[in-house]
Homo-oligomer: A and B are copies of this chain.
């Protein structure tokens, strides 16, 4: 009935797929930071940031630590994605990877990059143009992107990619980048204004056009319904 004993030869890693929307020459793009591996296996190839689970840290803490090591930033959203445990994921050892996905405010990413410079061995890539990846990380990223797009479709999660205050057009731009399709401005406005998710401020963003009202997230409303967890 019960299993005989524990298996000391299985190790636990925690990795995180970190998303941010960044402005490039090709317009805004959904991007993800990768780390160049400094040891075998897959030496020199790109991989998701991650590390071994410490004995005295929770899974989410480990993901947060990983994220801080990679970007020196705290995520505006962090959620477990999936746990990958096929026996042949890693050529040497048996590794079970608990993978998280995170959203980072794009303004903070830019600011941090400007002041501290890019961390060693870390580089941001558009999710549409990734290099060859170590392990099963391409598969993992595909799944994370699918989850992000899916969740963006039925929640206000994409607001976590923007600063505290933003215009509706900026928020719509984030959704368009994440979902990869154009949205009708007027319908987008109605949808958001009806949802209680945003609160209007008295500030406006000026530019070569009519000023646009700035909004904030409604802190009373969760960005995503996660259920009882």
Contact = CB atoms under 8 A, between A and B. Distances in A.
Report how many copies the assembly holds.
2
A12 B7 contact: yes
A8 interface: yes
Interface stretch (A17-25, A79-87, A109-117, A179-187): A79-87
Contact of A85 (B52, B59, B94): B59
Contacts of A195: none
B86 A98 contact: no
A129 interface: no
Contact of A98 (B52, B53, B83, B94): B83
Interface of A: 1-3, 5-12, 38, 51-59, 69, 80, 82-83, 85-87, 94, 96, 98, 119-121, 139, 142-143, 146-147, 150, 227-229
